[in-house]
Amino acid sequence: MDPVSIIIFIFILLFSVIFHEVAHGLMAEKLGDPTARYAGRLTLNPIPHIDLFGSILLPVFLLLVNSPILFGAAKPVPVDYRNLKNLRRDMLLVALAGPITNIVLAFIAAQVLRFSPALSDMGQDLLLQTVLLNLVLGVFNLIPIPPLDGSKVLASIFGFLDRGWMYSILSLERFGFILIILFLFSGLLQTVLLPPVFFLIKLFLGADIQLGF
């Protein structure tokens, strides 16, 4: 990628992960936990959300090494699960709010791209990158590897059967980043991630897109 493309990519990525995190905070607040609002995180202002490593260094590193998967992260919105009205159900809803928001953003951008033939080449490229990044972020975060949202979804589901299992899954978060890197460079992450991403691209855009992965 040229420098301008990298800047555009980081801009789209940054606001995609911000929407993701704000969605978590809004859902948590609706279910009884105002922690994110008190922390000043229910805002689209990027400054409170930027994480030097996850928002900037990690995606740039992945670009430089020609990683087949590009992603990043904002600072996680704080959630105090003790404030939730129904721990197992509400943790599930809070966890799903972020990935679903990314998938909805991808759908909206895809429909604008699909049904606006007068768009400039730059406009088409921006929308396509918005679709791809948000689908990757949405599906990636649903993978049940701690600390991704999918692990909290899995923990919530197991929590309905045995709360001890729920806490066991959540306790693995301290090893999460190592697991993600291992999955990425082993190729297993692409194997899990790409089929649903390609399926959603075809569903939203009505055509196969060459992603260059």
More confident residue, 79 or 10: 79
CA distance 58 to 13: 12
State the sign of the Cα–Cα–Cα–Cα dihedral 141, 142, 144, 149.
positive
* pLDDT band with cut points at 50, 70 and 90 for residue 179: confident
| pLDDT (0 to 100) of residue 142 | 94
CA distance 170 to 6: 34
Structure token pair of residue 199: 């399926």
* pLDDT band with cut points at 50, 70 and 90 for residue 172: low
CA distance 174 to 168: 12
More confident residue, 193 or 52: 193
Transcribe 104-120 into DSSP letters: HHHHHHHHHHHH-TT--
Each residue's pLDDT tens digit, 83-134: 998 988 999 999 999 999 999 999 999 999 999 888 888 889 899 999 999 9
More confident residue, 59 or 36: 36
Q: What is the mean pLDDT of the chain?
A: 84
210: closest CA among 140, 138, 133, 132? 132
Q: Which of 13, 21, 22, 205 is labelled catalytic?
A: 21
Whole-number CA gyration radius for the chain: 17
Each residue's pLDDT tens digit, 23-55: 999 999 999 999 999 999 999 998 899 887 777
| pLDDT (0 to 100) of residue 170 | 67
**Which H/E stretch holds residue 81?**
none
21 catalytic, yes or no?
Answer: yes
CA distance 178 to 2: 30
| pLDDT (0 to 100) of residue 79 | 92
Q: In this prediction, what percent of the chain has a pLDDT beyond 70?
A: 86
